């Protein structure tokens, strides 16, 4: 048997790649081929401590660096991302499986977060009030927290780390990034770009590992804040553990995102919108539409008839296949889990409209699933209650808009939702009454642009921080309010024990 040499993934600590010392390793697979391509030594407690030690030292100097100097680094970093988009997109495709065009779209959305961080000088401006009383001026300033950590998922190896970290760096913190062990290449590539951009050593660090590594990071006394993206189950654990150890935490979980299609909607546009939002990235997006709710029997029949024809034509393929609509799922375990979800749905009474369990693909060893569409799904079925992180989408038939709103509001998740309609009245009712964090009207994926806050409700988010938007700066800074008075040396104050007031 021919031996295969695997890449060994390094940590990135204090401005340089560091070979892991641990005997405990994980493996990286290319979803497109199913082949093992790298091994990842998981960080030891000593390596975690070392990274945080250097980050703490760097944070003091970086936090005192002028905001103008920090922004200069961000400008160069942005330029380097654009310059290396092709190379970065191929790395994403290699380790994640998504198509090159989809990877480029991810990079573009990640750059929006860099753009917002470049505007940190404006966002960091405090408040000032002159003579609030007794010739006292009051003002506030925002200061960095120190060392913060971001724990990012496999499905967006570039966009999420950028969304979580660039503002944290811009406002003066040092960063410990723990990427998913399934997609470590992209994080190290970003490290190289930060280095080329002139970011001082220790401000950006990457530690690879599993849940034990995460535990060491989030309970460390010198970590001030934790930002996490992953499943809701893990998000809740991260939130509870982090807050127990007095950390500031925002933890973003999963979603069960609905699309409501009203009788007056343009059904052709609704169908096309659903397909891209539902099956792009092999449905491995927390903001993917997983459930479509056509309102009324006639709407449902016409919509499903049009949808079925187009879903049947979707093609899974390798990340570098220009003709593929989407790529493989992340792992063999993920594939088997999705297949079990489909089987359970059928057992519970769902109807198979399009069967993608055995797709026609060139490489049978890859982790491929085709587009699957299930009809007659009821709210008490497992496939409706739980998030299915793969290309198995469902149809839930409802009679009225009120019924749709009620079902969505009763669901445990509240990440994203959208309605397709030509009625301003219905759209207003929907946007006002729906209990979901991100809402679209005739928009297939209601993920906000980088300068608006991102965050779901209910079990889709733990903590109050946001990802994207100006709230990111607030999450990664602490506000200090200062009351200041300067005495005239010729004046003398009388001794008083009264509580000071604004009328003094």
Residue among 394, 289, 291 nearest 352 (CA):
394
- Widest CA span of the chain, in angstroms? 93
CA dist 468 and 125 (Å) reads 18
Single out the catalytic residue among 124, 286, 408, 473.
Answer: 286
Distances (CA, A) of 280 to 174, 176, 406: 34, 30, 27
Give me the DSSP letters along 419-461: EE-S-HHHHHHHHHH---SEEEES-SS-PPPTTS-B--EETTE
Q: Which residues contact 440 (CB under 8 A, 6 or more apart)?
A: 416, 417, 418, 419, 446
150 is catalytic: no
CA dist 445 and 450 (Å) reads 14
Give me the DSSP letters along 79-130: HHHHHTHHHHHHHHHHHH---HHHHHHHHHHHHHHHHHHHTHHHHT---EEE
- Three-state DSSP at 268 gives helix
Residue among 273, 361, 318, 337 nearest 102 (CA):
318
Whether the CB-CB separation of 164 and 149 falls below 8 Å is answered with no
Give the alpha-carbon dihedral of 297, 299, 304, 307, to 10 degrees: -170
- Three-state DSSP at 300 gives helix
Taking the CA of residue 181 as centre, how many other CA atoms within 13 Å lie in the half-sphere pointing to its CB?
Answer: 17
Residue among 53, 67, 265, 168 nearest 274 (CA):
265
Q: Which contiguous run of DSSP H or E holds residue 27?
A: strand 25-30
Catalytic center residues: 286
């Amino acid at each position: 048997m021919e031996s295969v040499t695997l890449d060994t993934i390094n940590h990135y600590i204090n401005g340089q790649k560091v070979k892991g010392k641990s005997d405990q390793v994980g493996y990286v697979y290319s979803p497109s081929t199913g082949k093992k391509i790298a091994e990842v030594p998981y960080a030891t407690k000593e390596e975690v401590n070392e990274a945080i030690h250097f980050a703490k030292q760097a944070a003091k100097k970086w936090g005192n660096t002028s905001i103008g100097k920090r922004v200069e680094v961000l400008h160069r970093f942005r330029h380097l991302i654009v310059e290396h988009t092709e190379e970065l997109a191929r790395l994403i495709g290699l380790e994640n499986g998504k198509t090159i065009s989809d990877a480029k779209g991810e990079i573009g959305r990640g750059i929006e977060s860099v753009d917002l961080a470049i505007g940190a000088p404006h966002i960091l401006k405090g408040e000032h009030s002159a003579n609030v009383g007794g010739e006292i001026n009051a003002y506030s300033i925002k200061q960095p927290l120190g060392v913060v950590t971001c724990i990012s998922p496999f499905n967006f190896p570039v966009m999420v780390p950028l969304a979580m970290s660039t503002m944290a760096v811009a406002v003066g913190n040092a960063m410990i990034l723990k990427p998913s062990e399934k997609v470590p290449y992209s994080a190290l590539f970003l490290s190289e770009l930060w280095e080329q951009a002139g970011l001082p050593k220790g401000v950006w660090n990457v530690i690879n590992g599993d849940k034990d590594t995460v535990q060491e990071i989030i309970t460390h006394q010198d970590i001030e804040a934790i930002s996490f993206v992953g499943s809701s189950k893990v998000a809740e654990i991260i939130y509870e553990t982090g807050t127990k150890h007095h950390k500031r935490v925002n933890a973003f979980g999963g979603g069960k995102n609905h699309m409501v299609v009203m009788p007056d909607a343009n059904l052709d546009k609704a169908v096309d919108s659903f397909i891209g939002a539902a099956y792009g990235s092999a449905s491995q997006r927390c903001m993917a539409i997983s459930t479509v709710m056509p309102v009324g029997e006639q709407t449902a029949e016409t919509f499903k008839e049009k949808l079925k024809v187009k879903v049947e034509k979707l093609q899974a393929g390798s990340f570098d296949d220009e003709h593929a609509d989407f790529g493989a799922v992340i792992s063999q375990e993920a594939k088997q889990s999705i297949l079990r979800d489909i089987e359970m749905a059928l057992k519970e009474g769902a109807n198979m409209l399009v069967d993608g369990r055995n797709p026609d693909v060139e490489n049978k060893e890859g982790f491929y699933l085709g587009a699957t569409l299930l009809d007659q799904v009821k709210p008490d079925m497992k496939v409706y209650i739980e998030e299915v992180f793969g290309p198995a989408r469902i149809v839930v038939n409802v009679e009225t808009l009120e019924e749709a709103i009620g079902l969505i509001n009763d669901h445990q998740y509240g990440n994203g939702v959208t309605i397709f309609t030509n009625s301003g009245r219905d759209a207003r009712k929907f946007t006002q009454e729906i209990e979901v964090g991100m809402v679209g009207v005739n928009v297939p994926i209601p993920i906000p642009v980088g300068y608006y806050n991102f965050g779901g409700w209910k079990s889709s988010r733990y903590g109050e921080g946001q990802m994207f938007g100006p709230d990111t700066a607030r999450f990664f800074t602490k506000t200090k309010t200062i009351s200041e008075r300067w005495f005239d040396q010729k004046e003398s104050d009388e001794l008083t024990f009264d509580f000071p007031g604004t009328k003094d």
